[in-house]
Structure 1
Amino acid sequence: MPTPLKWLFKLFDALVVIGMAVMSVLIFTNVVLRYGFSSGISYSVEISRVILVWIIFLGAVVGLAKGAHLSVDALVARLPQRARFACFLASYGLMLWCCWLLAKGSWALTRIEWGNITPLTGLPVGLTYAAGLVAALMMALVLLLELWRGLRGTLPSTWAGAKSDEAPLAVSPAITQEKLQ
């Protein structure tokens, strides 16, 4: 995780937890009221939808910063150092391009939909699309910081050729012979 932004990602972690708690309470209360008392909270669906979108995007930013996204390094681990570095540059370039596309599209949709309001809460519809814009900008910042560190000689573990801490799963021939007898 980039050191200069640790405080921001801790804030994002807290916002994700708070958002999940609020969303869970809203939905649970609405279900109990609807099935138990034939009433409900009319705005809970709209608020939960906005919170869910923000949770997903903020969680994706934190996952990128922590290096927690799924990666397959079977090919990269077998490449020589220069080829790994070239793949590092190409992949970060492609990810930055994807961030640009997400930011551009989210900004356009946020501007278009900001004037429209949701019927029950009165929140701007563009608030939902703004989550993509914030996520794209934050992901681009994380990627640029990692790219800067990589160009200065400190590659992330996948690209540096670091071996996994866990031993590969293998069955010892002695154990299999014992079990067969």
Structure 2
Amino acid sequence: MSSALHWLFKAFDVFIVIGMAVISLLIFTNVVLRYGFSSGIPFAVEVSRVVLLWVIFMGSVVALARGAHLGVESLVVRLPPRMRWVCFLASYGLMLWCCWLMGEGSWSLTLIEWSNVQALSGIPVGAIYAAGFVAAILMALVLLLDLWRSLRGILPAPWSGVEHVEPLPVVVPPRTSEETP
């Protein structure tokens, strides 16, 4: 991954952490205020909903870029190289088509709903659908980058015939008193 993309996904990671912190803080404060003081933050639920959707969509983009999305590789790794290549192209073509559908639908809904605002926060309803549009564009860019790499001979792990297995964490057993010098 290039340094610019690495920086972008680090920025997404920071955005996700900040978004989750904002959601946690808003909801926790709202619960304490409602049950403890019979009041609350009126816009907390609406803001939390918008931030959560953006966090989910940006997290999906990061997961796609890192190859952390759900996949069944047991069949792909058993195929001959030419069939893996065909499956790779077919699956990436289908994913790009899904990105197109998601982007087109999200953009239409963003335009339709942008003039409507949420009752308490004043955030445009279209901001919810804009998250899907931005995610569709970014996911398509990640997929196109993977396709470009594949044309240069660099296939992602399962498509290249290598099983993508995360290494197990190394756990050092505690030393007993008998082993201590």
- Quick check: TM above 0.5? yes
TM-score (norm 1): 0.89
Spell out, residue by residue over 1:128-159, the C-alpha distance to the aligned partner (whole angstroms, 9 max, x if none): 10000000000000000000001110000110
Which letter does structure 2 place at the counterpart of 1:5? L
Contact 1:65 1:142 in 2 (8 A): yes
Q: What one-letter code is carried by the residue in structure 2 that aligns with 1:151?
A: L
Aligned to 2:49: 49
Name the structure 2 match of 1:84. Answer: 84
Shift of 1:127: 0.4
In structure 1, the partner of 2:36 is 36
| Matched residue, 1:60 | 60
**SS of equivalent residue, structure 2 residue 71:** coil
Relative distance call for 1:93 and 1:75 in structure 2 (3 A) is same
Q: Mind listing any 5+ residue stretches in structure 2 that lack a counterpart?
A: 168-181
Quote the residue 2:178 is aligned against: none
Which residue of structure 2 lines up, in the alignment, with residue 174 of structure 1?
A: none
User: 1:163 Cα deviation (Å)?
Assistant: 3.3
Runs of 4+ in 1 over 6 A off after TM superposition: none
CA RMSD of aligned residues (A): 1.4
What is the CA–CA distance in structure 2 between the aligned matches of 1:166 and 1:118, rounded to whole Å? 43
Aligned partner of 1:149 in structure 2 is 149
Gaps in structure 1 of 5+ consecutive residues: 168-181
SS at 1:74 equivalent: coil
- Between the two proteins, the alignment pairs up a number of residues equal to 167
Q: In 2, are the aligned partners of 1:2 and 1:142 still within 8 Å (CA)?
A: no
Q: 1:26·1:48 contact (CA, 8 Å) conserved in 2?
A: yes
CA shift in 2, pair 1:41/1:122, >3 Å: same
For residue 105 of structure 1, report the CA deviation from its aligned partner: 0.2
Relative to total residues, which structure has the larger helix share, 1 or 2? Answer: 1
Aligned-pair identity in percent equals: 66
**Residues 40-69 of structure 1, C-alpha deviations (whole Å, 9 max, x = no match):** 000000000000100100000000001111
Distance across 2 between alignment mates of 1:7 and 1:29: 33
How do residues 32-181 of structure 1 correspond to structure 2 at under 5 angstroms? Answer: 32-165=32-165
Q: What is the Cα deviation at residue 71 of structure 1?
A: 1.1
Distance 2:15 2:153 in 1: 34
